[in-house]
Amino acid sequence: MFHPETKRRKGILKKDREEKLNALGFVWSCRQGPARGSGDDEVEEDDGISVEYDNDDSKWEERFELLKDFKEKYGSCKVPKRFEEDPQLGLWVADMRQQKKTGELDAERERRLDSVGFVWDFQAEWNKNWEERFYQIKAYKDKWGHCTIPKNVPSLKQLAQWVRDVRKNRR
């Protein structure tokens, strides 16, 4: 998985998907949503950076609570590895993914992360939801006449996040 800046340069968004959004009048340069480093960036796969934890349950619980707060604020558990607001949280999330990948993550902790919607594989999640989200934004445009999804409407939070992700992944 590439860092978001690399995705923009490499043009990861498939051309047919870009064309479908363009046909809707999708706005690519909209400046809505949180600023860079505020939760919109995808976490890249392990690049050799690891976080040392002493398996202290209270430390894990503290990070888990911060993850739930992040999800409440940004609508997902996609904490960027270099999250400026709390760099340790981003590294902790990346470390949880790495621990699962290597089989080191405790089953109960994995279950708890799953219970809050932890995303283990961004690419699989993105592909699974793309068509569904496209039809949601199409319905929104049919109703409201534009594709600018407000980020402060709770029922539209996930769609607004998807729109931000699509904008970042444009060719």
- The residue ranges of every structural domain in the chain are 4-168
Note the pLDDT tens digit of each residue in 138-163: 999 999 999 889 989 999 988 998 88
The whole-number average pLDDT for the span 14-37 is 67
**Confidence check: pLDDT of 21 > 60:** yes
Instruction: Using alpha carbons, select from 72, 101, 70 the residue that is nearest to residue 87.
Output: 70
pTM greater than 0.75: no
**Length of the chain in terms of residues written:** 171
Q: Burial of 80 by CB count in 10 Å (0-12 exposed, 13-18 middle, 19+ buried)?
A: buried
What's the pLDDT tens digit per position in 96-111? 998 998 999 999 999 9
Retrieve residue 167's tokens. Answer: 């904008």
Average pLDDT score, the chain: 77
Distance separating the N- and C-terminal Cα atoms of the chain: 16
Give the C-alpha separation, 153 to 109, whole Å.
31
How far is Cα 21 from Cα 32, in angstroms, rounded to an integer?
17
